[in-house]
A = this chain, B = another copy of it.
Amino acid sequence: MTSTTTTAGSPIAPVAPSHGALRPLGLDDVQITGGFWAQRQAVNGSASLAHIEHWMEREGWIPNFDSAAAGTLSDLDRGGREFSDSEVYKLLEAMAWEIGRTGDAALDGRFRALVGRIAAAQEADGYLNTNFGRPGQRPRYSDLEWGHELYCFGHLFQAAVARARTRPDADDGLLAVARRAADHVVAAFGPDGIASVCGHAEIEPALAELGRATGERRYVDQAALFVERRGTGTLADIELGRAYYQDDVPVRDATVLRGHAVRANYLAAGAVDVAVETDDEDLLDALTTQWENTVARRTYVTGGQGSQHEGEAFGHDFVLPADRAYSETCAGIGSVMFSWRLLLAQGLPRYADLVERTLFNVVATSPSHEGTAFYYTNTLHQRVPGTVPPTEVASPRASSSLRAPWFAVSCCPPNVARTLASLAAYVATTDDDGLQLHQYAPARIRTTLADGRRVELDVETAYPTDGVVRVTVAATEDRPWTLTLRVPSWADGAELRTPDGVQPAPTGTVSVHRRFAAGDVVELHLPMEPRVSSPDPRIDAVRGCVVVERGPEVLALESVDLDGADVSAVRLDLTAGVREADGRVLVTVVTAAPADDAWPYGSPPAPADQARAEAPLIAYHDWANRGPSTMRVWLPLA
């Protein structure tokens, strides 16, 4: 930890540690006012939230609560998988942030109605789950491995925290529901309770945050207890192994993330929360090592994590095939959660680098442009054009190569929705000496430093289309403070322009300490020329290939831009360079004539007839918005 800043008052943000290197800013401090992310926030608010609510009603996930309240719920008519309650809670959380962001009164009405239906299903002792404990259902906590009961509570708590912070006076009862549930969990799983954990981590960060939001230390202590129990083998040794749910090695002894990638990241996020609140430097060191090794060895160039379909899991080091990359959307979101917490704790820009990469190339990839279809997995090489998924029935989670309206397991859509609605909270932070900009978007920032100095900034930028980030001081006081800007690790040659002149901006962070005046402008110029990147040679699956990146965006080649030619048949001719024209990135590709179908191993193939053509690359997050196609991120060199 580079310094320790104490958070006074709870910012309107998903994560609000009691102290750390950096202090988060909330939705009242920061608004994204335009550009790439504002567009996605608008679509999320105007289309995705209603789309998600519609599907949860029709699939029975919301009505399950009504049946539970009425005492008529049985396993025969219950809709959805065992964890469907959690999806409703994630929708609630997304709605809460959206209401906080926009003040949408109609949405607030829908939110209150939904809270009422959920609250009615809570049992007298605080327990709340539509899948357990009723006649014909399994008993409570009889299947910790797969039952997801504590996981569901976790999402309930996160929704309640979002509501409590955005509408502290709402009086809709959600926070009370969450507190009763949390008290029940503490009673049931406390030091004298069931000495185990949930098969899917999530309650750990949620309890920690509920503790921060309510001041109830007991919740933080319970989160710490869950973190300590994990890895001691209290869950069954399933066919996928205990690593699947991180019950193989204690959190403080592990050196890398492993197993189910969403579970692993949620657990790591919660463990950072616990480490910070308990001042456990050893635990924080272990998590830092896990982050470092995971980023160096088990992360796709998109920021995606978890390469294996089987177990939705991390593979061994450097097993990162582009083919069938799983890279679950929710794992990307979990990675953002983990990195963000380490950023707050330690202040290092590498965490914001990964957050940016993952936001642009995983989170932004999931929703369609219309916000009503989603990727659950995010492959890096699509070999067969997909079929249009059904619009009237839920899709299997990984079956289509096109975004699907809904999935039988639909964790990703509401996860994207809550992330987009709360995204302003990830843009900037403060510390005792000033303000830090981590993500670049047009923004309005109005906040007060811990000692009362007022800081008001306006950010203008066409990022990531353009690399100029213009920060104008709208108002401030006549006392010096420090403005710090992240210089992404890819931005070699960046420059900073201040009232004092131009200076190089080496990658990492660049700071301006001065007595700012209203109207002062600081401009960061990031180099946006396309970059050609090679993989570590230990990543066997993409040997001999390169990826083209531009700013924070990973680019891809889609068959739609090749007159329908299969991307698997093309090679990149780098001797022809990579050029930009009319806002497009253009490369030269050669297409080999298809080989005969025969035994595919033998003498190196003779040079075949080759066609040469210029083709545009698109941002990976934009792919598959023009119908079925093939696509590849890693381009084999000719």
Give the interface of A toward B (CB within 8 A).
Answer: 239-241, 292-293, 295-297, 299, 301, 308-310, 315-319, 321-324, 381, 383-384, 396-397, 399, 408, 489, 533-545, 547, 568-569, 592, 595, 597-605, 634, 636
Contacts and interface: CB of A to CB of B under 8 A. Distances in A.
Given A489-B599, A537-B592, A383 B547 contact: no
A406 to B, nearest CB: 14
Nearest to A539: B600
Given A383-B318, A599-B295, A602-B534, A540 B301 contact: no
Nearest to A316: B383
Contacts of A535: 600-601
Contacts of A597: 292-293, 296-297
Contact of A383 (B317, B323, B544, B568): B317
Contacts of A603: 533-534
B534 A605 contact: yes
Nearest to A537: B605
A611 to B, nearest CB: 15
Contacts of A545: 540, 543
A535 to B, nearest CB: 6
A547 B408 CA distance: 42
Contacts of A536: 595, 600-601, 605
Nearest to A543: B544
Given A241-B399, A316-B384, A323-B540, A601 B534 contact: yes
Given A318-B600, A322-B540, A539-B600, 20 more contacts: A239-B397, A297-B600, A308-B324, A309-B309, A310-B310, A317-B384, A319-B323, A323-B540, A381-B540, A533-B601, A533-B603, A535-B600, A535-B601, A536-B600, A536-B601, A537-B605, A538-B569, A540-B568, A540-B634, A543-B544
7 contacts: A240-B396, A296-B597, A297-B597, A297-B600, A316-B323, A535-B600, A543-B545
A319 B324 contact: yes
Nearest to A409: B239
A636 B540 contact: yes
A319 B600 contact: no
Contacts of A308: 309-310, 324
Nearest to A634: B540
A606 to B, nearest CB: 11
Given A544-B544, A601-B534, A239 B408 contact: yes
B537 A636 contact: yes
Contacts of A599: 295-296, 489
A2 B63 CA distance: 65
B538 A568 contact: yes
Contacts of A569: 538
A568 B308 CA distance: 19
A538 B570 CA distance: 10
A537 B590 CA distance: 13
A303 to B, nearest CB: 10
A541 B310 contact: no
Contacts of A636: 537, 540, 543
Contacts of A299: 600
Q: Which 8 A-B pairs have the closest CB atoms?
A: A536-B600, A296-B597, A309-B310, A544-B544, A534-B604, A543-B544, A310-B310, A239-B396
A634 B543 CA distance: 12
A592 B545 CA distance: 19
A321 B323 CA distance: 9
A82 to B, nearest CB: 15
Contacts of A604: 534
Contacts of A598: 296
A388 to B, nearest CB: 16
A492 to B, nearest CB: 10
B537 A540 contact: no
A447 to B, nearest CB: 31
Contact of A321 (B321, B534, B544): B321
A301 B599 CA distance: 9
A634 B315 CA distance: 19
A399 B248 CA distance: 14
A108 B634 CA distance: 59
Contacts of A542: 540
Nearest to A319: B323
Nearest to A541: B541
A510 B317 CA distance: 49
A316 B321 CA distance: 14
A220 B537 CA distance: 54
A309 B545 CA distance: 25
Contacts of A595: 536, 538
A158 B295 CA distance: 52
A145 B497 CA distance: 67
A331 to B, nearest CB: 16
A208 to B, nearest CB: 29
Contacts of A316: 323, 383-384
Contacts of A541: 321, 323, 540-541
Q: Which of A408, A535, A600 has the most CB of B within 10 A?
A: A600
A301 B601 CA distance: 7
A540 B635 CA distance: 10
A396 to B, nearest CB: 4
